[in-house]
Structure 1
Amino acid sequence: MAKDSKIDRRDDVSPTEGEHKYGDVEFADPTNKKYPIDTPEHVRAAWSYINHKDNAEKYDADDVEQIKERIKKAAKKHDVTIESD
């Protein structure tokens, strides 16, 4: 997997929707503005959501891995404990 390669644009989401809802924050999926990771609460929610099969299957395996790595990094930054998979 190429580290920090660009995540593919999804046809089923509107990136402006995520930006409108959360503002100019850091996202685990910055391409589609999905999975905000700017607060401890968002980090926990992002981890929970990306580990749901129906959410993860919308991405290829490399993208899921990249999103999870970004969430793990944010968890460490925000001092949040998450269960590794």
Structure 2
Amino acid sequence: MASDSKIDRRDDVNPSEGERKYGDIDFADRTNNKYPIDTPEHVRAAWSYINHKDNAAKYEADEVATIKERIRKAAKKFEVTIDES
């Protein structure tokens, strides 16, 4: 299942920055504390950002799939509609 996949630590990211900025919350990229998914607004923003080619290009395809799956689950939890196209 995609959501159990490992996401590699990125050299261009400081994971403690995400935690400092958002607190101890759930992130779609839990390794690097990127793409917070703790509120409907964050879910929408995370989906928008991961679908930008330059952001997705920083990850392997399986990592993008994992991030998107986590965002989809959060969207369902918060009853947020996301555009799959």
Task: Give the aligned partner of residue 42 of structure 2.
Answer: 42
Q: Distance in 1 between matches of 2:70 and 2:2?
A: 14
- Letter of the structure 2 residue corresponding to residue 30 of structure 1: R
State TM-score, norm by structure 2. Answer: 0.96
CA RMSD of aligned residues (A): 1.2
Give yes or no for the alignment of 1:82 onto 2:82.
yes
Structure 2 match to 1:70: 70
Following superposition, the deviation at residue 60 of structure 1 comes to 0.3
1:19 maps to 19
Distance 2:3 2:26 in 1: 17
In structure 2, list runs of 5 or more residues that go unmatched.
Answer: none
Give 1:3 shift: 4.6
In the superposition, relative to structure 1, how do residues 26 and 3 fare at CA in structure 2: closer, same or farther (>3 Å)? closer
Percent identity, aligned pairs only, is: 78
Give CA deviations for 1:19-66 in whole Å, capped at 9, x if unaligned.
000000000000000000000000000000000000000000000000
Name the CA distance, whole Å, in 2 between partners of 1:28 and 1:13: 14
The corresponding residue for 1:6 is 6
Scaled by the length of structure 1, what TM-score is found?
0.96
Residue 57 in 1 paired to residue 82 in 2? no
Q: Figure out how many residues of one structure are paired with residues of the other and give that number.
A: 85
